[in-house]
């Protein structure tokens, strides 16, 4: 037996202890974004080797969906429910959770495309039209099931879009960013939007109804681009006990805030990350629904899980390396994890550029498991 096979056997044996659940899949394309469409399904935005976009809805394995109910299931399949090959390349999607609808920003095109799921009980995802907005390839953020907040990578001001009527409003026209540049929109409560400047993480919070500023987080100038995340979600997690805000730079600098007190950082630290060229990094940061754990990917072939301690201490408690052990998946080399999301407080779904998708539950998050079991 080869050394490679011995190492693989050892990893799989160790995984029995490291993971409460681990389900690994091969896909026919590189998944670049994962969104939840309902409690048992995800929508994925992918790209085939030809460069064409793929939009699919997948049913999650029953053993993952039923794990909270302590139901025994041997169903490990990731079933394709519906799909489509969009005519135009897609830059970003958002699922209207539980509504059977997807909205999408198309590369270099104006407007917001709308897709329908479960069309006449078919296996097709159907494009139902395009909503006109004065932004090209907008960045999308969900305010509620009927409303989007849009920004663009230029000097255009943010736009609020009513999905039902297709009408737009410029409630946030008083935004004080000048020039706007690359702004990330994030909804942090039912009526508050956070606009984050990617070049330094400087953020202003606005009341969506009035457009007035209700808070500010000063930036941290670096040579790296920043991304932002929160554990609040208007449909999947509308009432977290604590709303946590996290900012991560491409160089691994992490800033954490509690929405109730934006004047004081919970944590400001440098994560220990691989030494890679920042231009090759697409950092992804996510928070567990409770806000007690955060996860980071996009720097290498792993997903790191960190615990947010009461004193602001950020401690790595788990590193998922399952994609590395699908190295020959579709005969495609692995270089990075492309996206990951929290299904619940103890289950993560991740995708990588070797056309692999993993559903996994770490078994060593003892603090969390003791509270949930």
Look at residue 219 and tell me if it is in a domain: no
Look at residue 354 and tell me if it is in a domain: yes
Q: How confident is the model at residue 333 (pLDDT cuts 50, 70, 90)?
A: confident
Determine the pLDDT at residue 12: 86
Contact 211, 204 (CB under 8 A): no
- Residue 252 structure tokens: 């691994």
Report d(CA 16, CA 12) in Å as an integer.
7
In this structure, of 8-22, 312-326, 357-371, the range with the lowest mean pLDDT score is: 357-371
Helix and strand numbers, DSSP H then E, in the chain = 3, 28
Look at residue 288 and tell me if it is in a domain: yes
Q: How confident is the model at residue 223 (pLDDT cuts 50, 70, 90)?
A: confident
Look at residue 253 and tell me if it is in a domain: yes
The conformational region for residue 151 under phi > 0 = left, psi -120 to 50 = alpha, else beta, is beta
Contact 55, 125 (CB under 8 A): yes
Determine the pLDDT at residue 276: 66
Look at residue 355 and tell me if it is in a domain: yes
pTM of the model: 0.92
Q: How confident is the model at residue 73 (pLDDT cuts 50, 70, 90)?
A: very low
Look at residue 16 and tell me if it is in a domain: yes
Determine the pLDDT at residue 108: 94
Report d(CA 345, CA 290) in Å as an integer.
7
Q: Annotate 197-219 with three-state secondary structure.
A: ECCCCCEEEEECCCCCEEEEECC
Q: Which of 360, 350, 358, 361 has the alpha carbon at shortest distance from 32?
A: 350
Q: Which of 143, 142, 138 has the alpha carbon at shortest distance from 158?
A: 138
Average pLDDT over residues 230-251: 96
Look at residue 177 and tell me if it is in a domain: no
Domain that holds residue 276: 1-27+242-373
> What is the total count of domains within the chain?
1
Look at residue 272 and tell me if it is in a domain: yes
Determine the pLDDT at residue 4: 58
Q: What is the DSSP letter of 191?
A: T
């Amino acid at each position: 037996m080869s050394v490679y096979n011995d190492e693989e056997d050892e990893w799989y044996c160790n995984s029995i202890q490291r993971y409460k659940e681990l389900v690994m899949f091969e896909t026919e394309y590189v998944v670049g974004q994962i969104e939840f469409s309902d409690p048992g399904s995800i929508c994925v935005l992918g790209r085939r080797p030809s460069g064409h976009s793929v939009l699919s809805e997948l049913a999650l394995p029953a053993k993952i969906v039923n794990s909270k109910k302590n139901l025994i299931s041997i169903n490990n399949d990731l079933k394709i429910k519906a799909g489509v090959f969009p005519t135009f390349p897609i830059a970003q999607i958002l699922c209207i959770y539980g509504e059977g609808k997807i909205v999408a920003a198309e590369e270099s095109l104006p407007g917001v495309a709308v897709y329908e799921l479960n069309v006449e009980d078919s296996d097709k995802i159907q494009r139902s039209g395009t909503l006109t907005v004065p932004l090209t390839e907008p960045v999308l953020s969900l305010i509620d099931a009927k409303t989007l907040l849009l920004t663009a990578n230029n000097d255009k001001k943010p736009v609020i879009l009513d999905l039902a009527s297709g009408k737009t409003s410029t409630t946030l026209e008083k935004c004080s960013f000048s020039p706007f540049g690359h702004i990330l929109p994030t909804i942090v409560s039912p009526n508050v939007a956070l606009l984050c400047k990617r070049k330094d993480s400087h953020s202003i919070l606005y009341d969506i109804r009035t457009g007035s500023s209700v808070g500010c987080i000063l930036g941290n100038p670096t040579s790296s681009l920043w991304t932002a995340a929160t554990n609040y979600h208007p449909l999947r997690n509308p009432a977290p006990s604590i709303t946590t805000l996290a900012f991560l730079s491409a160089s691994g600098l992490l800033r954490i805030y509690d929405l109730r007190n934006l004047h004081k950082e919970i944590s400001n630290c440098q994560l220990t990350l691989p030494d890679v060229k920042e231009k090759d990094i697409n950092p992804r940061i996510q928070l567990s629904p409770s806000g007690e754990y955060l996860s980071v990917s996009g720097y290498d072939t792993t997903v790191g899980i960190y615990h947010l301690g009461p004193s602001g201490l950020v401690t790595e408690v788990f590193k998922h390396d399952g994609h590395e052990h699908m190295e020959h998946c579709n005969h495609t080399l692995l270089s990075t994890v492309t996206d990951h999301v929290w299904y619940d407080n103890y289950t993560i779904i991740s995708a990588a550029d070797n056309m692999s998708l993993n559903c996994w539950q770490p078994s060593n998050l003892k603090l969390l498991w003791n509270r949930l079991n």
